[in-house]
Amino acid sequence: MCQRVIHPVLQHYLRRHGVLVVERLGIALIQPIVQMTGAQAVALYQTPIPPEAYGQVKGCCVRTVGSREMLHLLPPREPAVCTMVLCHRNDTMLNELKAACQRAEHVLRLTLRDPVALLGGGCTETHMAAYISNKGTTEATEAALSLGVSQSQYLLGLNGFCSSLEAVALALVHDGETGLVDLSYAHHWSALQRGDGDEVPATCGCGLVERSARPGLEWTPLNTRYPSRPAPLVVGKATPPQLRVLDSFTAKLNALQVAVEMANLVLDIRYVIQDVN
């Protein structure tokens, strides 16, 4: 394998002696191949190559995906890396699929490095919005004085920040669903629209709150004014484990920090950005 172009005469000579030639190897593939085969990258061929620089593979085969032929290397033992083949008839959709998988891989790496999770399915955002709204409204007078603004200006900024958090949860709503928040625990629910009203699902977005176990729940649409004092959610030890949807704490924290910094930057520039699409 070589990152540069191999002369055709040399390629012909190597193939005659049973050597498989792979040229113009991308830099992004070097590290996975080193991890999988145990080989070492060699910068020059003028010096003798030590035996430990050679890697091992269990085998190799050619995979045909659409109009492309790909070389599939089989690791000799438990692989440190794996191969994911993404296919789509449309190049635009394929690029979006690649970007989504790269983001998912990045979040997985962050989770392995910092194994802390938050409630997923929009429940963290709605719970934060309810808590900040309740806390900020209760302490509005003191907070406005400490910031040097009027109470109405403070509440306007508070409502805007909470609406931004709820908008993140609303982005998960699709296919004609309605985004709801319960008034007891401030968890996010995606309800199906019916002719006779909204059909609330059996569990919230993260799966922690079950509608059957909490018969007194009431809901209201997101991004509306509602009185909320989220109560602590106590789950008994006898409760059977249910499917949970979790988010990476590190990824969520980084996204929130970027959003706040971007909002501050826009306020400093004093320009209004409008989406015309």
8 A C-beta contact, residue 205 and residue 185: no
Q: Map residue 158 onto helix, strand or coil.
A: helix
- How far is it, in rounded angstroms, from Cα 85 to Cα 2? 22
Q: Per-residue pLDDT tens for 107-153?
A: 888 888 889 989 999 999 999 999 999 889 889 999 999 989 999 99
Kindly give the interhelix angle for 249-269 and 91-113, rounded to the nearest 10 degrees. Answer: 110
pLDDT of residue 61: 85
The CA-based dihedral angle spanning residues 240, 246, 248, 254, taken in that order and rounded to the nearest 10 degrees: -140
- Tally of CA atoms within 13 A in the half-sphere of 199 that contains its CB: 6
d(CA 207, CA 119): 9
What pLDDT does 98 receive?
A: 92
Q: Token pair for residue 54?
A: 């050679």
CB 70 within 8 A of CB 62: yes
User: Would you state the pLDDT for residue 60?
Assistant: 84
- In this predicted structure, what is the pLDDT of residue 144? 92
**Cβ–Cβ under 8 Å, residues 80 and 36:** yes
CA distance 192 to 250: 32
* Reported pTM: 0.68
* Helix (H), strand (E), coil (C) string for 207-256: CCCECCCCCCCCEEECCCCCCCCCCCCCCCCCCCCCCCCEEEHHHHHHHH
Residues of the chain falling short of pLDDT 70: 79-80, 194-198, 227-243, 270-273
Domain ranges of the chain: 120-241
pLDDT of residue 97: 93
Q: How many helices (H) and strands (E) would you count in the chain? A: 7, 8
Can you read off the two tokens belonging to residue 277?
């699409």
HSE at residue 125, side-chain half, CA atoms within 13 A, is: 26
